[in-house]
Chain A
Amino acid sequence: MNQQQNERALVLVEQDSKGCADINLKVMGAITRLREFVAVDVDLLVVGKDCTDIAVAAARVPNVRQVLVADADSCEHQLPESIVSWLADLAQGYTYVFVGATTYGKNLLPGIAALLDIQPVTDVVSIESASIFKRPIYAGSALVSVATDQPIKILSIQGSAFDAVALSDVSAIAPLIKINPPVAQSISRFISQDAAPTDDLPELTTARIVVSGGRGMQNGENFKLLYQLANKLGAAVGASRAAVDAGFVANDLQVGQTGKIVAPELYIAVGLSGAVQHIAGMRESRVVVAINKDPDAPIFQVADYGLVADLFEAVPQLLEQL
């Protein structure tokens, strides 16, 4: 019997303060969907310095052929000047390259694609066939279906659009394969990075519940109310661009077209008007609650449950009743 050759996919594994980031499991969810159309052998690639622990964690991702590990000084901080051309060389052996549509993936993927003379498809929210993908444009006002017959499909995956795969137990781990790391460059260098947050709240893009505040919170101090609510619900805290621009909270809390895209089971928008760019970041949430004192706020148009009320009365009541 003639066996058709499998497609070969390379996944760039994103790391976070906890190790192997949750987005990788969403990317594997997208590959699970791709496998409805074609057979795919998947290699994971872990790049970093002292990243063995992360590679071991990645090896528990199911249905993976092998985990490639490049562990070297030159890989620390994964600076694009060091790793992009090396990644492009590596990607030549594959027919698909995947990464999450996060700031990590967005920083690296386009350069890899350009060096391979490939036009990538970024922010993929749906896989329609082995070569047809959907992505949002105009802040999510439309979805475009694109087809590509390029020899390598280079894709970034919008995590909120796919279900995460579950990790295997330790008995089903993929082999780790050490590969030659890139040569270090000297045209950019790392200076500093914010310390990882110390709270125990879940990560914004994968949390089951998200509590978001807008300009109506009035200041950063008042966000404590939302953190109390988040603690009680096991939720992550998000914010509108207006709240971030006003300096109430850090930029990494921003939900929207240019911030994070979330799709939790429950999204609670507090004192948040609901600009188009914000709704682009949360429209796929299953249940949306809006609390706002302005009955005409656009957020009510997308809310399953709307409460017209002063948030400084409503949120403390909500805390009491939960």
Chain B
Amino acid sequence: MKIVVAIKRVVDHSVRVHPLPDGSGMDTANAKMAMNPFCEIAVEEAVRLKEQGHASEIVVVSIGAPAVQEQLRSALALGADRAIHIQTEDSLEPLALAKVLHALVKQEQPQLVLLGKQSIDGDHNQTGQMLAALSGFSQGTFASKIEYKNNELWVTRELDSGLQTLALKLPAVITTDLRLNQPRFPTMPNIMKARQKPLAVIPVEDFGLALQSRLRILSVESPKVRKSGVRVQSIAELVEKLRQEAKVL
């Protein structure tokens, strides 16, 4: 089974970012960047499938400015075999990303595409499902367990109502949830080896797709701030406040 893993470079999850004063976007200048946590889980799962003998090759792909090569090298250090950087300076919407990935999937012909369920910047939760629909692949979103069984992938999905298990025929698109695995840290020898692994650069224009934005961003603003209230000294005082002041009991 050949696996393609799509990853995204985002502001590190530990960094708090704020809207720019003019409301034109988020202030991400000089913010520490990292691989999107859900994408890290996707890379880890691909590596585990390979270690279990179910994957022949892991191709990791990212779409963006040259800086995404940093995250591609990280994925190579974690165990991916080769990387593809699809280069664009534009910030693409999920639909455009899915179109590019669809074009790449037609070239690469993987049996499995793994993606994070969402990126922690846009929080869209769309790209994987769009790719599955465009390519006609089977779809397993929000995966917390993946098992290879008789040429199928059994995927346990985290739903609002509990866990659901599906059997997917290949080729499949699977998006990862938090509890799928605990990603490993790359070792120094593997970081060194990753520098020698192939990394191809393809300008996004080569795919000949119409990728213009469909949504116009009018403004980006901070949500209304919750002010911290008062400290109470006892449960009795708390119950009194909830009854008399907040009137919620």
Binding site for B on A (CB under 8 A): 16-17, 79-81, 84-85, 88, 102-104, 106-115, 117-123, 132, 136-148, 150, 186-197, 205, 209, 233, 241, 244-245, 250-252, 257-258, 260, 265-266, 276, 283, 286-289, 300-309, 314, 317-318, 321-322
Number of A-B residue pairs at CB separation under 8 A: 252
Contact A193 B216 (CB under 8 A): no
Contact A266 B246 (CB under 8 A): yes
Shortest CB-to-CB span from A264 to chain B, Å, is 9
Contact B161 A141 (CB under 8 A): no
Question: What are some 17 contacts across the A-B interface (CB < 8 A)?
Answer: A79-B166, A85-B133, A103-B158, A110-B98, A114-B133, A117-B95, A118-B95, A119-B96, A136-B123, A141-B16, A141-B223, A142-B19, A146-B215, A194-B162, A251-B179, A283-B226, A301-B228
Interface centre among B128, B134, B216 (most CB of A within 10 A): B216
Chain B residue numbers with a CB within 8 Å of A107 are 129, 139, 141-142
Partner of A241, one of B117, B122, B178: B178
Hey, what's the 0/1 contact readout for B100-122 against A, CB within 8 Å counting as 1? 00000000000000000110111
The CA-CA distance from A206 to B80 in the complex, in Å, is 43
Q: Pick out which of these stretches binds chain A: B59-67, B187-195, B231-239.
A: B231-239
Contact A16 B161 (CB under 8 A): yes
Shortest CB-to-CB span from B66 to chain A, Å, is 23
Chain A residue numbers with a CB within 8 Å of B223 are 136, 140-143, 283
Contact A188 B129 (CB under 8 A): no
Known A114-B130, A306-B229; judge A192-B164 contact (CB<8 A). Answer: yes
Interface check B177, CB cutoff 8 A = yes
Q: How many residues of B contact A (CB 8 A)?
A: 80
Contact B159 A252 (CB under 8 A): yes
Known A251-B144, A251-B158; judge A191-B166 contact (CB<8 A). Answer: yes
Contact A306 B230 (CB under 8 A): yes
Interface check B150, CB cutoff 8 A = no
Classify the interface of chain A: helix, strand, loop or mixed.
Answer: mixed
The CA-CA distance from A187 to B138 in the complex, in Å, is 6
Q: What residue in chain A is nearest B144 (Cβ atoms)?
A: A251
Chain B residue numbers with a CB within 8 Å of A306 are 228-232
Interface check B214, CB cutoff 8 A = yes
Contact B169 A288 (CB under 8 A): no
Known A114-B95, A140-B223, A146-B218; judge A304-B165 contact (CB<8 A). Answer: no
The CA-CA distance from A4 to B122 in the complex, in Å, is 36
Chain B residue numbers with a CB within 8 Å of A110 are 94, 98, 125-130, 133
Shortest CB-to-CB span from B229 to chain A, Å, is 4
The CA-CA distance from A144 to B26 in the complex, in Å, is 10
Chain A residue numbers with a CB within 8 Å of B230 are 304-306
Chain A residue numbers with a CB within 8 Å of B93 are 119
Contact B17 A119 (CB under 8 A): no
Which B182-237 residues have a C-beta within 8 angstroms of A? 213-223, 226, 228-236
The CA-CA distance from A318 to B118 in the complex, in Å, is 39
Interface check B22, CB cutoff 8 A = no
Chain B residue numbers with a CB within 8 Å of A17 are 161
Known A121-B215, A144-B220; judge A194-B164 contact (CB<8 A). Answer: yes
Partner of B26, one of A16, A140, A142, A241: A142
Shortest CB-to-CB span from A159 to chain B, Å, is 11
Q: What residue in chain B is nearest A189 (Cβ atoms)?
A: B167
Known A192-B164, A304-B246; judge A122-B125 contact (CB<8 A). Answer: yes
A-B pairs with lowest CB-CB distance, top 3: A111-B133, A194-B162, A114-B130
Contact B139 A80 (CB under 8 A): yes
The CA-CA distance from A114 to B169 in the complex, in Å, is 21
Interface check B248, CB cutoff 8 A = yes
The CA-CA distance from A317 to B236 in the complex, in Å, is 8
Interface check B154, CB cutoff 8 A = yes
The CA-CA distance from A317 to B229 in the complex, in Å, is 22
The CA-CA distance from A304 to B179 in the complex, in Å, is 32
Contact A147 B216 (CB under 8 A): yes
Q: What residue in chain B is nearest A295 (Cβ atoms)?
A: B231
Shortest CB-to-CB span from B100 to chain A, Å, is 12
Chain A residue numbers with a CB within 8 Å of B163 are 193-194, 250-251
Shortest CB-to-CB span from B74 to chain A, Å, is 22
The CA-CA distance from A299 to B221 in the complex, in Å, is 22
